[in-house]
Amino acid sequence: MDMEAKCGYCGVQAKLKCAGCQQTYYCNPDHQKKHWRAKHKQECAKPYELARNDEIGRHCLANKAILKDTVLFTETPLVIGPKWNLDEYEQRSTIVPCVGCFADCNLGLFYCELCRWPACKPDCPGLINRSLHSLECGILRFGHPPKPGDDPETFFDYYRYDALLVLKCLAMQICNPSSFDQIINLESHYDARKNTRYYADTDERIVSYLFRNFLDPLQSLERKEDKVVLKVCDRKTLHMISGILEVNAMVIPLSNGREICGLYPLGCMLEHNCMPNSFYTFDCSKGMKLTFKAGRDIQKGEHLTTTYTHSLWGTQLRREHLKTNKYFVCKCERCTDPTELGTFLSSLRCMGVESEPCGGFQLPINPLSDTSDWKCNQCPVQVTHDQVNFIMSKIGEEVDYVMGRKSSIKEFEDLIYKLENFLHPNHFHLQTLKHSLIQMYGHFPGHRLNELSDAVLVSKLQMCRDMMSIIDVLDPDSFRLTLYAGVVLLEQQAALVELSKRQKPSTVSQQQYDLSEALQCLVRAKTILQNEMGTIQGKKLMEQIERALENVGEQTGNA
């Protein structure tokens, strides 16, 4: 997990950065010159440039045509640390990330001997790594950690992992002032955040906490000894850093299943689009190196785009998330289209006049307005946005409840049956439930594949095919919804294999369930999962796909 740069020419530790690409380091100017002549002249010719406009701020512009799968850039993070946005459950977990290496460890077992923050073992190498725990350890030593036997609440209150990354960013000014300057110059939306609930939460949970426990004692020592350790250390700066993390931090999935966050100076310059043209992966074995690639062919002059939100949320939910957490309104092609590119992912069934459904669907009149009323695509009925919001929040609660419990297949079937009266069959809430249901059919006790009725198997297959049709519209180049699609394709194949087994020999001549479709599903899943091989979920899914391929191969005689 060494994040220190190596000379692009000779491989030793290096600090001098190429001013062109900002990616390659050198140990001395002579090696930079030699590398330029030998190789870097070609590499350094970036296919994009940094631009700025009033609407988006800084962004990346393609300065030549870029082919699908081209590596746009790779970069190491300025800083990494535990997730800054923990939910209430995560804030009170006794399994916490080691401050040295982020491995899971138990609160109260081993500690960093200097600051007494939890570690996986007392001699974890990350504890003395300058880019990892050493960054903040000296400041954390000012705290007074709880002792064994203290009320468990005092542990949760003292070890606030969501404040750690903010502190790490602040501490960068001690060991790496130029990286600190880069961080502090990222967009924080400080003014827009100021009157939000997030600002109030941050003020209590992070800013006051850090001052109370660590920064006030540090500053009083600074005054006593007439010495300055942290030149910049005030509440506004901590709020700015919190805003910078909210707007720019990227979530890095580790191979142990845990998620951490990192700031990537170039990676965070890509603007948002709900139908982006680029995607990224992390290499956790190489200092959390980020690689951005073109997800499709990109024309000269196009902006390089990524997505800051969930692709399978409906337009209102995506736009709400972007407005609340990223402080802008999205006006992309998908957001502008009331049908969401013909998927009807957010559409409601029209209840018609006097509860006589007309068979049409309600769509927002102006999807770019938060207060737009909705109208039917078949009859004159309109509903207000308040009515839509009310229905959607009730449905959202029911879906969250059932998804949280994942208790029984019947519960899912009943809710889907009920919601199909109100929502378009493609509605994202139904897709969420169906994505879980296809994984329950065939896997839950009493519902193994060979135990499912023909009708249930046919319904599983249909759900998978429908889901793939939606995915093909929302991710036509298969680079974003890859894990999601991989699961659907695996389940589609499982249903096909079981149905084809049950097919009577007399019907073979007019085969309905053809193993070649099962094989196509697996081959496609294997291809689209290539970019997920850095994640534990991707690897596990690939193993299942390989096993299924062997099985289908044996049955078709292609083993």
Ligand X SMILES: C[S@@+](CC[C@H](N)C(=O)[O-])C[C@H]1O[C@@H](n2cnc3c(N)ncnc32)[C@H](O)[C@@H]1O
Listed residue (255, 277, 323) closest to 48, CA to CA:
277
Number of shown-chain residues binding ligand X (CB under 6 A)? 18
- Residue closer to ligand X (CB basis): 333 or 543: 333
Q: Which range in 22-30, 185-193, 333-341, 417-425 contacts ligand X by CB under 6 A?
A: 185-193
Residue 59 CB, nearest approach to ligand X (Å)? 6
Residue 68 CB, nearest approach to ligand X (Å)? 22
Dihedral of the alpha carbons of 254, 291, 537, 104, in degrees to the nearest 10: 0
Residue 191 CB, nearest approach to ligand X (Å)? 12
Site for ligand X, residues 243 to 262, rule: CB under 6 A: 247-248
Residue 328 CB, nearest approach to ligand X (Å)? 4
- Residue closer to ligand X (CB basis): 324 or 516: 324
Site string for ligand X, 266-285 (x = CB under 6 A): --xx-xx-------------
58 binds ligand X (CB under 6 A): yes
187 binds ligand X (CB under 6 A): yes
Q: Are 184 and 244 in contact (CB under 8 A)?
A: yes
Cβ neighbours for 504, distance < 8 A, ≥ 6 positions apart: none
Q: Distance (Å, rounded) from C-alpha 341 to C-alpha 471?
A: 11
330 binds ligand X (CB under 6 A): yes
Burial of residue 319 (number of CB atoms within 10 Å: 0-12, 13-18, 19+): buried
The number of CA neighbours under 13 Å toward the Cβ of 496 is 27
Please identify which residue in 12, 56, 221, 559 interacts with ligand X, judged by CB under 6 A: 56
- Encoded tokens for 5: 């740069």
321 binds ligand X (CB under 6 A): no
242 binds ligand X (CB under 6 A): no
Q: Are 438 and 464 in contact (CB under 8 A)?
A: yes
Q: Are 117 and 134 in contact (CB under 8 A)?
A: no
Task: Please report where in the chains the tokens 């977990």 appear, as a residue.
Answer: 93
Distance of CA 435 to the CA centre of its chain: 18
- Residue closer to ligand X (CB basis): 100 or 243: 243
Site string for ligand X, 4-43 (x = CB under 6 A): ----------------------------------------
Q: Distance (Å, rounded) from C-alpha 123 to C-alpha 133?
A: 12
Cβ neighbours for 507, distance < 8 A, ≥ 6 positions apart: none
Residue 56 CB, nearest approach to ligand X (Å)? 4
Please identify which residue in 328, 422, 444, 484 interacts with ligand X, judged by CB under 6 A: 328
Burial of residue 158 (number of CB atoms within 10 Å: 0-12, 13-18, 19+): middle
- Residue closer to ligand X (CB basis): 246 or 532: 246
Strand-by-strand arrangement of the 250-253 sheet: 79-82, 259-263, 250-253
55 binds ligand X (CB under 6 A): yes
Q: Which range in 60-68, 89-97, 184-192, 451-459 contacts ligand X by CB under 6 A?
A: 184-192
- Residue closer to ligand X (CB basis): 56 or 65: 56
User: Which residue of this chain has its Cβ atom nearest to ligand X in the complex?
Assistant: 57
Interface contacts to ligand X, rule CB under 6 A? 55-59, 186-187, 189, 247-248, 268-269, 271-272, 326-328, 330
